[in-house]
Structure 1
Amino acid sequence: MSDGIEVQPYESAAEVSGEGEPHNTSPPKVVPRQYLMAFILTTCCFALWGFANDITNPLVKVFKEVFQISNTQSSLVQFAFYGGYFTMALPAAYFIRRFSYKGAIMVGFALYAFGALLSIPASLNTNFWIFIAGFYILTFGLAFLETSCNPYILAMGPPETATQRLNLAQAFNPMGSLTGMIVASTIIAPNLQVGEFRDKMEAKSPEVVQYVEADYASGLPDFDQEYGTLDAAVSKALANMQVTSPETFQAIQQHDLGVVRTPYVVIACVVIGFLILFALTKMPTFAADEPDAPVGELTVRLFGKAHYREGVIAQAFYVGAQITCWTFIIHYGMEQVGLSLAQAQTWNIAAMMIFLISRFVCTFMLKFVSPGKLLSALAVTAAILTFGAIMLPGQTGLICLVLISACMSLMFPTIYGIALKGLPAEEAKLGSAGLIMAIVGGALLPLMQGWFIDTIGVRNSFYLPLICFVAIAIFGVRTFTRFEKESNFQTVS
């Protein structure tokens, strides 16, 4: 299946010819001119999956109240969302081997749109499980996009600048994430009736105080927002409303799920537009000189390489840490500082802005510092900040939690680039699938942290991402003390 311009894999600017003298001594370009349009279009995909990731995070808290479920149950949103990556990454790699990167991207768009559109029957039927199915299928599409786009970007230029090129493309991912967060805070959160209910509880309005248990019924005189008592009382009141005034509660559910549905329908339309655009655009296919080796042989070769094997493990820890920090920053702000959902989401937006700025700064720093050293330094700093979020009360702890994003900005693309460094194209295709499957960390760890929140509280639950950052720091140290010194592993300059 040919989807466009068929070219051979890019040759390094330092490739020798004739007597062995380099035919071009100029610095290698990050994005060569012949790939510029393909690079721009593919980079747009990074923003599209960033939007999906971060408009979904606040729904863990929203669904907890709207469906009256536990933190553990509401964390199934992230379990389904990131579980879809694990399920579909390997099939996506098989598809790329059989067809092309472009074809895989188009399939990704189709699945993305279909999953987003499932929000329509889910909201109309007030059905939590249809939402879960929609998130699961949506991330089938994201798995196709990430499995194809990351190695596609790596192939669009000289290997010497591959990690820089991927970091540049990944820099546009937080732009999509930031857009998703802004939509969540300006369109979803302010229009939720559960948010209005919470405001009335804070004001001790009689129309909502009537739903609170007897020990709070006298105007909630001992309300202490600083330690999350308001949040607990809101949950109790909504639970009582569901029992004593089911029609009123169902009206709130229908309204709020309709609010949640709208941005998913809009993004589905945008994604369908990109599907049409890719279908009409010629893209390079990077034809290999020889057919790829059997999958079993490639798998053995891949996991025989320590930098790849350990990179997959580090990526699972990273994605788990990222999703827990961004998902439960809302719980932290609401329960530890007494913020509303919209206010807590504003702190999440601040974290994403810091993440975005730091991504560009770290991409620039890679010109001067090896990936392994920078990765390990940032992971250690992230661990210290996470410990601060655990030990320091109130807003100080929340600030530490937000600042972790500055450290996380470099991690995904750098771990990805380190893991695939020096791999031939046939191994990189399958290797990319393994790294995308590692995103399952984002499914498992939030579920674990949701259970920790239910049992030991939101602050202590952050020991889980703390352990993740320690593991990433170890991988970073391993990279610059061992991998970057090996003859077949060149440090990106």
Structure 2
Amino acid sequence: MSSVTKDAQAKPSGGGGKTTGSRATLAIVLVTSLFFIWGLTMNLVNALNSPFANYMKLDSAQAALLQVAYYGAYFIMAIPAGLIAKRFGYKGGVVSGLFLFALGAFIVIPATNMASYGLFLFAMFVIALGAASLETNCNPYITKLGDEKGESFRINMAQSFNGVGNIVGPLILGQILGTTIAPGKPGFEEAKTQFLANTRTIYIVIGVVLVVVLAIFAFFKLPTPPGDAEEEASGQASGETFATLLKRPYFTLGIIAEFIFIGLQVAGMAIFSAYALKHWGAGITAGLAATMLSILSLLFTIGRFVTTPLMARFDPAKILGVYMTISAVLMFVVFLGLGKVSVIAFMVAYLFISIGYPTVFSLTLKGIKGSAAKTGSSALVMSIVGAALIPLLLGVIQDAAGIEIATLVMVPGFLYVAWYAFWGSRIGLKQGK
């Protein structure tokens, strides 16, 4: 963080004037808090998947529409969010994202009052429009607010708090969910009403917190990253477009890697509870499965916090390659269906999956700065549509061939990301710099 503060000192801020070390540090704290917020809501959606499917009597493909609504919005919002950042700066993108985020949270109120799955999907869509705007702006902002050597370190550190949010979401749900009552069983309607009321309360609290955070950002001037400051001083943008960025092989391959990786990460979290319920054995309940998901998320967060310091000493790409290879092996153990052993392997895999998204993000934006970084970030956030399409695909496979085959399909995906880390991220890099 000291390198970030040093680089941010004496740079023009978004509102003009000079920044100070304390201002840069405060900016990092505020932006990092946003990583926590959208991490919480992201994994809350995953944790809601199984109980919503139960109480709304949905099949696996219909339940996967939660991911389609949430992550499909990323694809739609990524370009507009990038354009807002180019026109109004990173702060403009953050403020617009917080507004949409809060609006979506409050739409959950009528959705749960009416027990309308369609309206709830719309609420998740609006929330995700806000999350996409935050992701499009916060990721490159943290990545580029300092020297290039520390990019993977900075974004992984910020994304570690995204992982903290990942823990809190299902942990909250696990505490209030208890045993899910199946349709047709005594007390089903009462349990359904209580579940919807608890969900409504969670999102009311989230909405109120977001309004407060929005007010703070509205009056705070964010320091400008060095690359943006250079463009402001020269009066000229880099001139790079999405088309020219695609001519850099490592960038194009990184977009593909991010699409595959985020889809697998989200799909795994979405099906984990159902997998645990099937393979753990006696004594397993929906509430316990949700709590186990929070443990999985804890391992995910630990993976980021433990690995991030290593990135200051070792090549982040090589670390990513090793981690993705281990993830592929563990998911093959999951496919084998070895009872508790496979459930534990599923959870431990997320210790290594943890660093995938932010590290691929930083490797893909290597050597890209200023307005070009905003364009590249928009493309990377668009690739998050993989989190909508891949879970839907795996949901169909799960219904047709079983949950074990769905997890087997994940193995070659992790191996591709490992290949990108070891080799793909270096193709054309020298020419691209």
TM-score (normalizing by structure 2): 0.90
Q: 1:89 to 1:7 in 2, by over 3 A?
A: farther
Quick check: 1:391 aligned with 2:330?
Answer: no
1:211 is aligned to: none
CA-CA distance at 1:315 after TM superposition: 0.4
Amino acid at match of 1:435: L
Match of 1:462, SS state, is: helix
1:221 is aligned to: none
Amino acid at match of 2:221: K
More helix by share: 2
1:370-419 deviation digits (Å, cap 9, x = unpaired): 12211111111100000000114211110110011111111111101100
* Stretches of structure 2 lacking an aligned partner (at least 5 in a row): 1-12
> Which of 446, 463, 466 is the aligned partner of 2:411?
466
1:313 is aligned to: 256
CA-CA distance at 1:79 after TM superposition: 0.9
Amino acid at match of 1:4: G
Quick check: 1:68 aligned with 2:57?
Answer: yes
TM-score (normalizing by structure 1): 0.80
Amino acid at match of 1:56: V
| C-alpha contact 1:372 1:479 (8 A) present in aligned 2 | no
Q: 1:483 to 1:373 in 2, by over 3 A?
A: farther
Q: 2:361, 2:149 → 1: CA distance? A: 15
> Which of 231, 242, 245 is the aligned partner of 1:299?
242
CA-CA distance at 1:424 after TM superposition: 2.8
1:4 is aligned to: 15
> Which of 150, 155, 160 is the aligned partner of 2:149?
160
| C-alpha contact 1:71 1:450 (8 A) present in aligned 2 | yes
| C-alpha contact 2:72 2:388 (8 A) present in aligned 1 | yes
| C-alpha contact 1:320 1:468 (8 A) present in aligned 2 | no
Q: 1:173 to 1:84 in 2, by over 3 A?
A: same
Quick check: 1:260 aligned with 2:199?
Answer: yes
Pairwise mapping of residues 94-113 of structure 1 onto structure 2 (< 5 A)? 94-113=83-102
CA-CA distance at 1:327 after TM superposition: 1.3
1:105-146 deviation digits (Å, cap 9, x = unpaired): 011111001111111111111110000000011000001100
CA-CA distance at 1:431 after TM superposition: 0.2
| C-alpha contact 1:126 1:253 (8 A) present in aligned 2 | no
Amino acid at match of 2:268: C
Q: 2:262, 2:361 → 1: CA distance? A: 12
Q: 2:37, 2:410 → 1: CA distance? A: 26
| C-alpha contact 2:47 2:169 (8 A) present in aligned 1 | no
Amino acid at match of 1:272: V
| C-alpha contact 1:334 1:341 (8 A) present in aligned 2 | yes
Aligned length: 413
| C-alpha contact 1:320 1:465 (8 A) present in aligned 2 | no
2:163 is aligned to: 174
1:275 is aligned to: 214
CA-CA distance at 1:488 after TM superposition: 5.4
Q: 1:362 to 1:483 in 2, by over 3 A?
A: farther
1:79-122 deviation digits (Å, cap 9, x = unpaired): 11111111101100011111110111011111001111111111
Q: 1:93, 1:7 → 2: CA distance? A: 25
CA-CA distance at 1:292 after TM superposition: 3.2
Q: 2:36, 2:168 → 1: CA distance? A: 9
Q: 1:113 to 1:454 in 2, by over 3 A?
A: same
1:244-283 deviation digits (Å, cap 9, x = unpaired): x9xx754443332112111111111111110001112222
| C-alpha contact 1:105 1:144 (8 A) present in aligned 2 | yes
Q: 2:331, 2:379 → 1: CA distance? A: 28
Amino acid at match of 1:104: G
1:114 is aligned to: 103
| C-alpha contact 1:85 1:139 (8 A) present in aligned 2 | yes
Q: 2:145, 2:74 → 1: CA distance? A: 24
1:421 is aligned to: 366
Q: 2:382, 2:432 → 1: CA distance? A: 25
Q: 1:415, 1:167 → 2: CA distance? A: 10
CA-CA distance at 1:160 after TM superposition: 2.2
Q: 1:481 to 1:111 in 2, by over 3 A?
A: closer
Q: 1:196, 1:475 → 2: CA distance? A: 41
1:48-90 deviation digits (Å, cap 9, x = unpaired): 1101111111211111111111011011001111111111011
Q: 1:186 to 1:251 in 2, by over 3 A?
A: closer
Q: 1:368, 1:392 → 2: CA distance? A: 38
Q: Of the two, which has the highest radius of gyration?
A: 1
1:444 is aligned to: 389
Q: 1:141, 1:483 → 2: CA distance? A: 34
Match of 1:328, SS state, is: helix
Quick check: 1:139 aligned with 2:113?
Answer: no
1:277-298 deviation digits (Å, cap 9, x = unpaired): 111222224442334366xx51
CA-CA distance at 1:483 after TM superposition: 5.6
Q: 1:417, 1:334 → 2: CA distance? A: 36
1:184-208 deviation digits (Å, cap 9, x = unpaired): 1112x12xxxx353xxxxxxxxxxx
Q: 2:341, 2:102 → 1: CA distance? A: 40
1:14-34 deviation digits (Å, cap 9, x = unpaired): xxxxxxxxxxxxxxxxx9665
What do you get for the CA RMSD once the two structures are aligned? 2.1
Match of 2:403, SS state, is: coil
1:18 is aligned to: none
Q: 1:395 to 1:184 in 2, by over 3 A?
A: same
